[in-house]
Amino acid sequence: MSTTGPGIDVSPANDVDIGRMLDVEAVRADFPILSRKINDRPLVYLDNAATTQKPRQVIAALTNFYEQTNANVHRGVHTLSIEATDAYELARTKVAKFINAPRPETVIWTRNTSESLNLVAATWANAHVGEGDNIVITAMEHHSNIVPWQQLAARKNAELRYLAVGKDGLLDMANIESIIDSRTKIVSVTHVSNVLGTVNPVAELANRAHEVGAVILIDAAQSVPHMPVDVQAIDADFLCFSAHKMLGPTGIGVLYGKYDLLDEMPPYMYGGDMILEVTYEDATWNDLPYKFEAGTPNIADAIATGAAVDYLSELGMENVWEHEQQLTAYGMDQISSLNHITIFGPEDPALKGGVISFVHDKIHPHDLGTALDQQGIAIRTGHHCAMPLVRSYGVVAAARASFYVYNTKTEIDALVDGIRETERYFVR
Amino acid sequence: MSTTGPGIDVSPANDVDIGRMLDVEAVRADFPILSRKINDRPLVYLDNAATTQKPRQVIAALTNFYEQTNANVHRGVHTLSIEATDAYELARTKVAKFINAPRPETVIWTRNTSESLNLVAATWANAHVGEGDNIVITAMEHHSNIVPWQQLAARKNAELRYLAVGKDGLLDMANIESIIDSRTKIVSVTHVSNVLGTVNPVAELANRAHEVGAVILIDAAQSVPHMPVDVQAIDADFLCFSAHKMLGPTGIGVLYGKYDLLDEMPPYMYGGDMILEVTYEDATWNDLPYKFEAGTPNIADAIATGAAVDYLSELGMENVWEHEQQLTAYGMDQISSLNHITIFGPEDPALKGGVISFVHDKIHPHDLGTALDQQGIAIRTGHHCAMPLVRSYGVVAAARASFYVYNTKTEIDALVDGIRETERYFVR
Amino acid sequence: MMGDRSGFGGIGGTGNAGGLDELNDLYEAIILDHYRSPRNTAPVDSPDIDLEVNNPFCGDEFHIQLKVDGDTVSQVGITGRGCAISQASASLLAELVEGKTSSEVRAAVSAFRRLLKGEEVSDEEMEKLGDIEALSGVRKFPVRIKCALLSWVGLGDALEEHLAK
Amino acid sequence: MMGDRSGFGGIGGTGNAGGLDELNDLYEAIILDHYRSPRNTAPVDSPDIDLEVNNPFCGDEFHIQLKVDGDTVSQVGITGRGCAISQASASLLAELVEGKTSSEVRAAVSAFRRLLKGEEVSDEEMEKLGDIEALSGVRKFPVRIKCALLSWVGLGDALEEHLAK
Ligand SMILES: Cc1ncc(COP(=O)(O)O)c(C=O)c1O
Ligand SMILES: Cc1ncc(COP(=O)(O)O)c(C=O)c1O
């Protein structure tokens, strides 16, 4: 791990409470949007589970590409095309290294986590799930990891099973042996819940899946951005995430898959780079990863994703995680000290990522969201694309504050003050 | 049509031969990459059919979004999310206006033309094409408009029919009445060929398709960027294109469809924004256009596409077309005056877009490509993702020069000189 | 305009100038009062119109019941849950429509829509809307307009449908 | 390094400094000679090895035929079409392998690969490659390396397979 560059503090402890590893002020200076004022107040951006902000290094990667290198990739013999291809493939290699994928070809570029999940459902699972088989997900999934499986199960006459979530916000692992059984073909679980923050025991689930000959898909949309993730250590068969949730641009995501699985899968889309040879009668497919990348890829955003990965690697993912753990502990403490508040998910901050979802007895989440926005504070309100989970708590909407590398304790204080300020209207 | 702003020349004729409507020097000043040197020579970028360069206005749209507005769209009550949503939807409205789509909801954002084509094949066509039906395409399609139909035809036991291309590079329209018949469900044709440049009579084909109750899909990847296209005038049922071929960013494309067709189609991918309501058992779909936009969309690139459309609209698409027509006429003239050259496609430049594909008797396209690159000139060489067509000319690869708003006659002269220079090595 | 921000030309923005003071416009005393103590929440016996309206994105949902005698809304009951805006708006609506003829309701819905969109509303119409004017602060928060309209649109449409039968 | 160009840190680039002079390195006289007049193009009667190699992306395709007597390549025929690099490389290969033992061929393929990758090749190996050194200019054009390797890789693999039988 490098210890130079913006955002890295080499001195042992410049702030005794927080930022021991991460120089948050240096990090913040890399994010142009953080100097924006919202409603005359400094922006306090706590909507990171929805999407994160971008450092100047990522924005510059885009600008530089379009100003100096832009060309279509693959098959071009001219300089720009060669440079663009090299940069595009280098970004893939960076991402592979970031998640410890054994080979760059096992990293497929998609649009986002949702497309990655749909891809696996429509190809691997479509080919392997049959009548009477089952698919196992959890009760805390994002819609994108529910609906493709509902549809597949309906189409195949297969069963969709849910691992339950306990009152403590943790996955109920007691009867995974009966739920994940010999008819299970795929287990698809979120690594970190975008509502509860819960970190799920994915290695254990992978183990069980493999015991019964199933594959495991990990929705890492909320983990890869926030903690060190090693696909080989977890023994993930498939793993998905989105660049926009990890300092990268919108419009690009990743599907990692084990080589042999990807290799035997039929393509998802047809055309352009995914083809080896076409006659008027027939076509043959290109090798991995291109088999899954039909048409002109999102070249610029792939390269910018490489820059995001560089940025995070420089910070060190252990430091990112540590920073968020400290914020979460502080945030849980402060928010739960307020009256009228119920927080969803694990009480112990050590069991969760940097996500705090809560409801206020007297203030509807949308009113709270609007009132906080007046004070420059951006949180998300609603069902967080996890309607069934949110409803299981007896509500239809919740407020959610979620943290990232540039957030500070001071911002959490602003949130808490903001809630108090809003109570002036709603609590008599 | 506006006549102010960069790239627009209001004086009647500043250059008697070219640029009557378009002030090319002003346009060129908007493209940072054009000041790049390649192998110590000024870049002459003639690979526009593969992808185009980006003006500073488009790059700035990206930078501004990430520096000032970035947030996830829809459902957010905070300022950034509201602004991002407004900007994202405004871009859709701009695109709708650009192609004269009757309603913004008929514009679906995809990754690229290839995804748009796959989407229609996997949804509308999958539901409507049955055993014994046929699908009609042409012999000059891009792989992305061949392979999805080959696969669908094989899956459905349907027939894939090709409209032939004559020696003159034109579509053989003589027997469209027998080829497009009562069993035809969909006609999918390229508006402008990316190899031959041929402009196809899409309105006539739409007419015939509608006569037999079929729908028509128009691959407008090479037309929307270069000429005024009015989806209602053509009576297109579906129409696809990619932003990266029209000054916009990589990673975003468009599917236009008639409202009623899109409305009755099943979704393509599931998750995120495309959902109205989810329970553990089932889900219902959101309205158009969101039904087809699963997961976090490519927000920044959609907005930058709006900026690209603004730029082109300012230039005026009639002027863009006129400019390219002049370059094509000049280029055809100059290139055909060389020895050893065979040009594919219509001889009459008025029948084609700004694409000139050719082979040289004595110089393999790749050697030519490398030699031109040494002189700073970027052309494409290979099969241009249209293998069957290229092979029908008895070759496996061709060289292709393709033009856009910033190209000049001087650059065509450089190309011609460059070919001559290369002959020094290969022609004895 | 082809300037550097051309991609942003038409951003609607939030339309509010900022600061907590703006909140006073949104959460006027009347609104907070109707939010805390919604009127007409008693269920209606054998209602002529009985409908659920909801916005799944924010979770607001209301149960609207009306008794219609001839052309007049004789009894109204609205229950449900939602944010302060949707709740107060539903309560104000219930108060307003009771005893009104269908054309008066139609006129009120039309005037309310225009009020929220910032379009012209006559003094006379304003007067008829009464306390509902308090909701005009929502104009500064365009993203919340659908909260204010939820029950109005539902009720308006249902009434038309009922009368068309 | 987290500078402004960090996304571009490792671009390989074309590796050539520029200008038409570089072309002289790529298209040396020997290469142009083999391109225009490829050697060993006569078909081989009842060949022991008969294979097609091709790169569909650029359209290069070669038909390689070998007669193998015991451990020695006794006769070679290579025909096909491709760019100057792939054509000359195939012709030079044909010339080289005729009369060589399998281990000599193996050594040559290995040395040639290393030459193109810019890895170490001993003087002795260089000498054995002979005229093939002319292809080392391809190093400056990484995107063309696959052209130079096409027939070599095909022939090398086919020979191994044949001997393993
Ligand atoms: C006619 C035509 N159709 C489709 C495509 C595919 O476009 P994309 O690669 O952006 O998906 C192209 C691009 O080369 C094209 O020229
Ligand atoms: C756990 C989880 N899975 C999937 C997604 C979907 O990601 P995207 O919208 O980038 O496809 C999200 C994003 O909210 C998420 O939090």
In this prediction, residues C134-148 reach a mean pLDDT of 93
Res. C6: pLDDT tops 80: no
Give the minimum alpha-carbon distance from A26 to chain B in angstroms, rounded to a whole number. 17
Whether B9 shows a pLDDT value over 70: the answer reads no
pLDDT band at B76 (very low <50, low <70, confident <90, very high): confident
Higher per-residue confidence, C55 vs B91: B91
Given this model, what pLDDT does residue B74 score?
83
Instruction: Specify the 3-state DSSP secondary structure of B424.
Output: helix
CB A241 within 8 A of CB A220: yes
Cβ neighbours of C3 in B, within 8 Å: 57
The residue type at B216: I
**Averaging pLDDT over each range in B293-307, B385-399, C149-163, which range is the top one?**
B293-307
Of A40, A367, A428, the CB nearest to C18: A40
Average pLDDT, chain B: 94
Q: What is the C-alpha separation between A33 and B312, in angstroms, rounded?
A: 29
Residues sharing a CB contact under 8 Å with residue B417, sequence separation 6 or more, in sequence order: none
Q: Does the pLDDT value for residue A116 go beyond 90? A: yes
List of chain A residues whose C-beta atoms are within 8 Å of the C-beta of residue B299 = 250-251
Q: What is the mean pLDDT of residues A1-6?
A: 38
Ligand 1 pocket, residue B144 CB under 6 Å: yes
- Assess whether pLDDT exceeds 60 at residue A25: yes
pLDDT class of A68 with cuts at 50, 70, 90: very high
Lowest mean pLDDT among A45-54, B201-210, D133-142: D133-142
- Tens-digit pLDDT profile for residues B258-310: 999 999 999 999 998 899 889 999 999 999 999 999 999 999 999 999 999 99
Residue A82 confidence (pLDDT) = 96
Per DSSP, the residues of C19-82 read STHHHHHHT-HHHHHHHHS-S--SPPSS-SEEEEEEETTTTEEEEEEEEEETTEEEEEEEEEE-
B75: three-class secondary structure by DSSP? coil
Q: Least CB-CB distance to A79: which of D4, D14, D56?
A: D14
Of all residues in chain A, the percent with pLDDT exceeding 90 is 92
The verdict on the CB of residue B188 being under 6 Å from ligand 1 is no
Q: Is the CB of B142 under 6 A from ligand 1?
A: yes
Q: Tell me the whole-structure pTM to 2 decimals.
A: 0.93
pLDDT confidence of residue A140:
98
Question: Any long-range contacts for B118-121 (C-beta under 8 Å, 24+ apart)?
Answer: B118/A269, B118/A270, B118/A271, B118/A294, B118/B144, B118/B148, B119/B255, B119/B268, B119/B292, B120/B186, B120/B188, B120/B217, B120/B238, B120/B240, B120/B255, B120/B257, B121/A270, B121/B148, B121/B149, B121/B151, B121/B152
- Mean pLDDT, chain C, whole residue set: 86
Quote the tokens at residue D119.
């890895």
Residue type (1 letter), C69:
D
Q: What is the predicted pLDDT for the residue at B107?
A: 98
Q: Kindly identify which residue of chain D lies nearest to residue A309, measuring between CA atoms.
A: D7
Between B33, B51, B378, which is nearest A68 by CB?
B33
Q: Say yes or no to pLDDT of D13 above 90.
A: no
| Record: contact C3-B57, CB cut-off 8 A | yes
What pLDDT score was predicted for residue B6?
45
Instruction: Tell me which DSSP letter residue D16 carries.
Output: -
CB atoms within 10 A of CB A186: 25
Q: Which of B82, B282, B284, B298 to mutate to test the interface with C (most CBs of C within 10 A)?
A: B82
CA A198, A203, A208, A209 torsion: positive or negative?
A: positive
The whole-angstrom separation of Cα A195 and Cα B268 is 26
Predicted local distance difference test score (pLDDT) of residue D87: 95
**Does C22 sit within 8 Å of A374, measured CB to CB?**
yes
Contact at CB, D23 and B371, closer than 8 angstroms = yes
Inter-axis angle of helices A299-315 and A317-336, to 10 degrees?
Answer: 80
Asked if C touches A (at least 3 Cβ pairs < 8 angstroms), the answer reads yes
Nearest chain A Cα distance for residue D60, angstroms: 13
Residue D19's pLDDT band (cuts 50, 70, 90): low
| Token pair belonging to A219 | 């929705």
Residues of D in contact with A60 (CB under 8 A): 4-7
Please name the member of A67, A281, A370 whose beta carbon is closest to the beta carbon of B32: A67
Residues of chain B found within 8 Å of residue A282, distances taken between Cβ atoms: 150
Q: Among B85, B111, B240, B290, pick the best mutation site for testing chain A contact (most A Cβ within 10 A).
A: B111
Q: Is B182 in the pocket of ligand 2 (CB under 6 A)?
A: no
DSSP for B314-328, written as a single string = HH-HHHHHHHHHHHH
CA distance C69 to chain B (A): 36
Summarize the confidence of residues C132-156 as an average pLDDT: 93
Is the CB of residue D63 less than 8 Å from the CB of residue D80? Answer: yes
pLDDT the model gives residue A20: 57
Specify the pLDDT at position C22. 82
User: Does ligand 1 come within 6 angstroms of the Cβ of B400?
Assistant: no
The ipTM (two decimal places) reads: 0.92
Taking an 8 Å cut-off on Cβ atoms, the answer to whether D27 and B367 are in contact is yes
Sign of CA dihedral D93, D99, D100, D101: positive
Distance from CA of B76 to the nearest CA of A (A): 6
Active site residue B240: no
CA B303 to chain CA mean position, Å: 18
Q: What secondary structure does DSSP assign to A133-193, as a single string?
A: -EEEEETT--GGGTHHHHHHHHHHT-EEEEE-B-TTSSB--TTHHHHS-TTEEEEEEESB-
pLDDT tier at A279 (50, 70, 90 boundaries)?
Answer: very high
Q: Tell whether the model's pLDDT for residue C5 goes beyond 70.
A: no
Question: How large a percentage of chain D has pLDDT more than 90?
Answer: 69
Confidence band for C20, pLDDT divided at 50, 70 and 90:
confident
User: Does B41 contact D18 at a Cβ distance shorter than 8 Å?
Assistant: yes
Mean pLDDT of D33-53: 94
Q: SS3 helix, strand, coil % of chain D, rounded to 5?
A: 55, 15, 30
Q: Which one of C1, C5, C8 makes the best mutation probe of the B interface by having the most chain B beta carbons within 10 Å?
A: C8
Q: What is the C-alpha to C-alpha distance for residues A274 and B42, in angstroms, rounded to an integer?
A: 33
Q: Please work out whether the CB of residue A221 comes within 6 Å of at least one atom of ligand 2.
A: yes
What value does the mean pLDDT take over residues A384-389?
92
**Confidence at residue A105, expressed as pLDDT on a 0 to 100 scale:** 98
User: pLDDT tens digit string along C87-130?
Assistant: 999 999 999 999 999 999 999 999 999 999 999 999 999 999 99
Sort strands A253-257 and C60-69 into parallel, antiparallel or unpaired.
Answer: unpaired
Residue A200 Cβ contacting ligand 2 at under 6 Å: no
In angstroms, what is the span from residue A50 Cα to ligand 2's centroid?
8
Whether the ω angle into residue B102 lies within 30 degrees of 0, i.e. cis, is no
What is the mean predicted confidence (pLDDT) over C132-160?
A: 92
Nearest ligand 2 atom to the CA of A191 is 1
Mind listing the domains of chain C with CATH numbers? Answer: 18-164 (3.90.1010.10)
Q: Would you call A249 helix, strand, or coil by DSSP?
A: coil
Task: Please report, in angstroms and rounded to a whole number, the separation of the first and last CA atoms in chain A.
Answer: 53
Provide, rounded to the nearest whole percent, the portion of chain B with pLDDT above 90. 92
Residue B399 has pLDDT above 90, yes or no: yes
Tell me how far the alpha carbon of residue B383 lies from the centroid of ligand 1, in angstroms: 13
User: D touches B (3+ CB pairs < 8 Å)?
Assistant: yes
- Least CA distance to A269: which residue of chain B? B118
Q: What is the pLDDT of residue D5?
A: 30
Q: Which residues pair with C53 in a beta bridge?
A: C62
CA–centroid distance, residue B295 to ligand 2 (Å): 7
Q: Please tell me the number of Cα atoms within 13 Å of A355 on its side-chain side.
A: 30
| Ligand 1 atom closest to B244 (CA) | 10
Q: Which residues lie below 8 Å from residue C112, measured CB to CB, with a gap of 6+?
A: C129, C132, C135, C149, C152
Do A and B have ≥3 inter-chain CB pairs under 8 A? yes
List A147, A338, A378, A385, catalytic entry: A385
Ligand 2 centroid distance, CA of C151 (Å):
31
**% of residues, chain A, pLDDT over 70:** 95
Looking up tokens 């419009």 gives A251
Q: Is the pLDDT of residue C86 over 80?
A: yes
The pLDDT value given to residue C15: 39
- Chain C residue with minimal CA distance to A368? C83
Question: Per mean pLDDT, which range of B18-32, B185-199, B355-369 is the poorest?
Answer: B18-32
Contact A300, A248 (CB under 8 A): no
Position B334 pLDDT exceeds 70: yes
Q: What domains sit in chain A, N to C, each tagged with a CATH number?
A: 24-46+316-426 (3.90.1150.10), 60-313 (3.40.640.10)
B47 lines ligand 1 (CB under 6 A): no
Quick one: pLDDT at residue C56? 79
Catalytic annotation, pick one of B385, B387, B392, B413: B385
Query: Would the pLDDT of D6 be above 90?
Result: no
Give the pLDDT confidence score for residue D1 in this predicted structure: 32
The ligand that comes nearest to the alpha carbon of residue B249 is: 1
> What average pLDDT does this structure show over D62-80?
94
CB–CB of A374 and C27 under 8 A?
no
Residue B419 CA to its chain's centroid (Å): 27
Helices (H), A316-408: 317-336, 365-374, 387-392
Who wins on pLDDT, D14 or B273? B273
Distance A340 CA to ligand 1 centre (A): 56
Whole-number pLDDT of residue B365:
96
Chain B residues at the C interface, defined by Cβ less than 8 Å, are: 5-7, 56-58, 60-61, 64-65, 69, 74-77, 79, 82-83, 86-87, 90-91, 276-277, 303-304, 306-307, 310-311, 314
Find the closest chain A residue to C22 by CA distance: A374
Is A188 close to ligand 2, i.e. is its CB under 6 Å away? no
User: Subunits that touch chain B (at least 3 Cβ pairs < 8 angstroms)?
Assistant: A, C, D
CA A134 to mean position of chain CA atoms: 26
pLDDT the model gives residue A21:
79
**CB-based contact B314 C2, cutoff 8 Å:** yes
CB B185 within 8 A of CB B134: yes
